[in-house]
Amino acid sequence: MDAAVKYVKSRGYSTMYLLASPIGVNKIDLDVLTDFYKKYGFEIIKDYGNSRGMVSQLEENGESKFSDDYDLSKHSFTSGDCDIYAVSLHRLYGYPLYVVRGWYLEPDLGQDEREWEYEDSHAVVKLPNGNYLDSHGETTEAELRQNCAFSNDIAKITFEPVSEGEMLSIFSCQDQEADVQKVMDYLKKSNNLSESDNSTFYSYSDLNEEREVEGINDKTKLSIFDFDKTLVMTPEPEEGMKKWKDKTGKQWKGRWWENPNSLNTDVFDMPTNPSVISAYKKEKSNSNNLVVMMTGRIKALSNNVEKVLNMHGLKFDDYLYKDGAETSSDKMKKMELALKYNPNIRWITMYDDRSEHILIFKNWGNTMIDMGYLDKFEIYHVKNGKPFIV
Ligand SMILES: [Mg+2]
């Protein structure tokens, strides 16, 4: 048994199908078996009865290997079931699927040319900011390169986009649909409207005194406006840095978007988008609308962002800034919290210019409707200053 456990663990498998028929024992009690495997760090998640039952349940009935009372929050998705987790994220949020692929030269068989072969180590989805996401959270390409385990002598690692069908057949030859459905349900319940988020944004009604919104309980719609290139035509890094040098005589130092000087009103003209401002005025005119500015700019720039908005006479019920996470997931989290604490809100309208975020938000909105948290979700893609409904 020790040798078998050692082998299974060395391969990084998280699920082992075991056909147990020890000599001299007719029927093993599940509790006894559970205690036995616990010693080796395994957990029995399903008893199929016998091998025929297992095959028919897995293949014909399409049954999930996770039983209804199985606690998925304790399941490790970073080895065997990373593909199920990635496909679930892909279906819920529209993030594209990727595998971490290791390349090695085929064994030397005396031929002149040795071909390159590959093995896939891990399944992930790619976030719009270029990082990746798995069950441990957001991770960088460099971290994945370091942490992914391969069984061959790998010479190089690549990140390859794959389709959903490919992903579900790379690591398993079983039909995994039932497992994907289980994990999607689990993700919906655990990620959405959860208590787990410790963001500074809790509730519009009791967030803090200065931001208290009058008549919060009458608000039935959340109207969200992005800042850069949606409400205001702020400068892009390249042209902005050039203009900065022309006007100040100094070379720009450091990053762009996190720097307060990227919104310096003495240096840059930052006009609004008139079509978006018309939409803003329309949203503001209905007292049932909670009208919020939500940006991927960090909170340290709140004074600069709000100065620009004030200059244009734009006032919002609240101003929300990114606090750490990748921008699209940060925005979805904040919307989920808004819905959680303000159940009267049944409709969300968003205005945003980031092409790569639009479908992610659209998918999220549809999920919220499916789950009964929203009646309606609209997103306007702002292109060259003009909003188009998606
Ligand atoms: Mg923007």
Contacts by residues 298-306 (CB-CB < 8 Å, ≥ 24 positions apart): 298/258, 298/322, 298/323, 299/323, 300/258, 300/260, 301/258, 301/260, 301/263, 303/260, 304/260, 304/263, 304/264, 305/227, 305/263
For ligand 1, the distance from its centroid to the CA atom of residue 330, given in whole angstroms, is 14
For ligand 1, the distance from its centroid to the CA atom of residue 29, given in whole angstroms, is 60
Low-confidence ranges of the chain (pLDDT < 70): 1-2, 4-5, 7-28, 49, 55-62, 79, 190-212, 324
Check residue 192 and give its pLDDT: 46
Q: What are the tokens at 347?
A: 């409709």
For ligand 1, the distance from its centroid to the CA atom of residue 219, given in whole angstroms, is 25
For ligand 1, the distance from its centroid to the CA atom of residue 377, given in whole angstroms, is 19
Distance from C-alpha of 346 to C-alpha of 330, rounded to nearest angstrom: 20
For ligand 1, the distance from its centroid to the CA atom of residue 162, given in whole angstroms, is 28
For ligand 1, the distance from its centroid to the CA atom of residue 307, given in whole angstroms, is 17
Q: What are the tokens at 221?
A: 């719609």
For ligand 1, the distance from its centroid to the CA atom of residue 257, given in whole angstroms, is 11
For ligand 1, the distance from its centroid to the CA atom of residue 298, given in whole angstroms, is 13
Domains and CATH numbers, the chain: 1-61 (no CATH), 66-190 (no CATH), 216-234+270-389 (3.40.50.1000)
Distance from C-alpha of 117 to C-alpha of 102, rounded to nearest angstrom: 8
For ligand 1, the distance from its centroid to the CA atom of residue 234, given in whole angstroms, is 9
Which residues neighbour 131 within 8 Å (Cβ) at sequence distance 6 or greater? 138, 139, 140, 141, 326
Give the side-chain half-sphere CA count within 13 A for 157.
18
Check residue 190 and give its pLDDT: 66
Check residue 123 and give its pLDDT: 95
pLDDT tens track for 26-79:
666 777 777 777 777 777 777 776 777 776 666 655 678 888 888 888 888 876
Check residue 372 and give its pLDDT: 85
Burial of 347 (0-12, 13-18, 19+ CB in 10 A): middle
For ligand 1, the distance from its centroid to the CA atom of residue 352, given in whole angstroms, is 6
pLDDT tens track for 75-105:
888 767 999 999 999 988 888 999 999 999 8
For ligand 1, the distance from its centroid to the CA atom of residue 237, given in whole angstroms, is 13
For ligand 1, the distance from its centroid to the CA atom of residue 275, given in whole angstroms, is 15
